[in-house]
Amino acid sequence: MKDIFKAYDIRGIYPSEINSSAALRIGEGLVRFLRKTKKGKPSTRAKLGAGLAPHRNEVSGAGLKIVVGRDNRLSSPVLGRAVKKGILEEGADVIDIGLSSTPMFYFAVWKYNYDGGIMVTASHNPPEYNGFKIVREKADAIGEESGLREIKKLTLQKRKEDKIKKGVVKNKNILKSYLDFSSPRLIFLMPDLKRLRIAIDTANAVSGILIKELKKRLPCKIYHLFPELDGRFPNHLVDPLEEKNIKDLKNFVKEKKLDLGIAFDGDGDRIIFVDEKGEMIPSDFITCLISQRILRQKPGTKILYNICSSNIIKDVVEESGGIAMAGKIGHTFIEERMKKEKVFFSGEFSGHYFLSPYFFEVPLFVLFKVLEEISQSGKTISQLVRPFQKYFHSGQINMKVEDKKKKLKELEEKFKGGKISHLDGLRIDFKNWWFNARPSNTEDLLRIVVEARTKKLMEEKKKEISF
């Protein structure tokens, strides 16, 4: 079971690597962890009910309220039941939000001030996978360095046979409140939103539950591709960064002459855009577009981007009067940096977008802002992003290596004439190009990106790096 604990979450193949037994233990381990980290703080129940012994929360999970959500993978109901059982047996209460996207799950923990939560999902992985994303209070993401290692240790501990009063389950439907949060007074805030024609591909995954309600809130004509929930993902896999998985969306947008295409990943925390010509828009360009809009209203705002993202973000943010900051990839790192340095908005080249003061993914906020920009500018989306095509970016290249550390040292030695950074792996900048090589946390791979001022130079450097 210990091998399913990754850098940012828990993940494995069902049922050989992750199963009901593991889920139950993980539920127990989460309660033990939250109990330990909240030790000495008044619990939710203690705040509401006088006379509760202060040490009760230290003995069991009493008073803790933990959100449980799940995607629509075939194994998610089974794992969801098991993880809830583990939480209840440790004495904590479960707030069961049922089928939900990961942003909905984060919202529930944040909005209602619960003590933590666990989302049953394997995000964009193939259907045979499943896993868990875990947060503490305020939807503060827990990764390997911020508590997941401790949860792993507590999960593997032999359970004590203490007599603990079991927690209770409360079911809570948060769909409407999540959409109210994502689109407050939509018609009043966006009175000039045009009746754009758009397609949304939810890939038979859980984001499909949002679209019916979204249609009521937007004046757009929305075509919903693959709306049926089917955890086998029969039409295509749920990673929209892989262009083969958005082929149907691209063709549909072109054939119907639509204004925009949108694709969500398996748990709905990533959003990818397709222009009116059926071409995928790099997520870095969307970060630029949203940043420009933010900076028109809030000059001097800090914008965070991945060190693997295109240099165009830094250029655009600084030209627009903002402060551009490069950071590490990963939800926990982004959240920590945004809080520490008072960053307002962050975009990852993988299609994750974060906003202060929530510090979790806000895909619908990004969608609404893109629709606003198209409506108010009178331009097509391809016209809006065309100025950002200044550089040529390779996208992520996975290089198989036997020894990641050795290969990084070889790359650093070979390209030592450039400006070297170790912020996230190895980045070396030259006048007309740069590259970043980052070791995978789970595989014998280096994840490499290369960017240059010309396509020819980018292709040359890709070959040179892959020695």
Residues belonging to the active site? 123
SS3 28: helix
Give the H or E element holding residue 449: strand 445-452
Question: What are the structure tokens assigned to 304, written together?
Answer: 């965070």
| φ, ψ for residue 99, nearest 5 deg | -60, 125
CA 363/CA 70 separation, integer angstroms:
18
CA 285/CA 264 separation, integer angstroms:
17
Residue pair 92/36 in contact by the 8 Å Cβ criterion:
no
Burial of residue 141 (number of CB atoms within 10 Å: 0-12, 13-18, 19+)? buried
Q: How many C-beta atoms lie closer than 10 Å to residue 413's C-beta? A: 8
DSSP string, 59-71: HS-TT-EEEEEE-
Beta bridge partners of 118: 68, 134
Residue pair 46/57 in contact by the 8 Å Cβ criterion:
yes
Burial of residue 202 (number of CB atoms within 10 Å: 0-12, 13-18, 19+)? buried
Give the H or E element holding residue 86: helix 76-89
SS3 364: helix
CA 136/CA 155 separation, integer angstroms:
16
Q: What is the largest CA-CA distance in the chain?
A: 73
Residue pair 306/427 in contact by the 8 Å Cβ criterion:
no
For 194, left (φ over 0), alpha (ψ -120 to 50), or beta? Answer: beta
Residue pair 462/450 in contact by the 8 Å Cβ criterion:
yes
CA 67/CA 80 separation, integer angstroms:
11
Amino acid present at 451: E
Pick from 100, 174, 179, 124: nearest CA to 364: 179
R_g of the chain, CA atoms, integer Å: 23
Residue pair 196/367 in contact by the 8 Å Cβ criterion:
no
Amino acid present at 426: L
Question: What are the structure tokens assigned to 4, written together?
Answer: 């399913």
CA 323 from centroid of its chain's CA atoms: 23
Question: What are the structure tokens assigned to 199, written together?
Answer: 């397609």
